[in-house]
């Protein structure tokens, strides 16, 4: 599996959001480098959990579509006439 690629602007937005959260909610000021390190570490720790949740959601969506397709096929079934 490849490492996720985060665009520079996305990373900058995450760093900015982390700094704003720490400042507003915890009255803690940190520099951009510290915030970037924190974002990277949180990604390493929490990323796999969020990734797996996404896979579970995708799996459930595929199962729903397969069930819908199976129901569509059932409607097409032809019955043998009785004599």
Task: Give the predicted TM-score (pTM) of the model.
Answer: 0.68
Using 50, 70 and 90 to split pLDDT, how confident is the model at 32?
very high
Total Cβ atoms within 10 A of residue 39: 19
- Of 45 and 72, more confident: 45
Confirm if 20 and 14 have CB atoms less than 8 A apart: no
Tell me: the pLDDT tens digits for 69-81?
Answer: 999 898 888 889 9
DSSP 25: H
Q: How far is CA 74 from CA 50, 67, 68, 69, 81, in A?
A: 36, 10, 10, 9, 17
**What pLDDT sits at residue 54?**
97
Residue 4 predicted with pLDDT over 60: yes
| Helical ranges in the chain per DSSP H | 8-26, 32-76
Residue 74 phi/psi, 5-degree rounding, is -60, -40
């Amino acid at each position: 599996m490849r490492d996720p690629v985060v665009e520079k602007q996305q990373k900058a937005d995450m760093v900015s959001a982390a700094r704003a959260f720490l400042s507003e909610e915890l009255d803690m000021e940190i520099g951009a480098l510290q915030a970037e390190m924190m974002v990277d570490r949180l990604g390493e720790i929490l990323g796999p959990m969020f990734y797996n949740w996404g896979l579970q959601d995708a799996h459930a969506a595929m199962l729903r579509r397969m069930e819908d397709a199976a129901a569509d096929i059932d409607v097409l079934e032809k019955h043998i006439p009785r004599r």
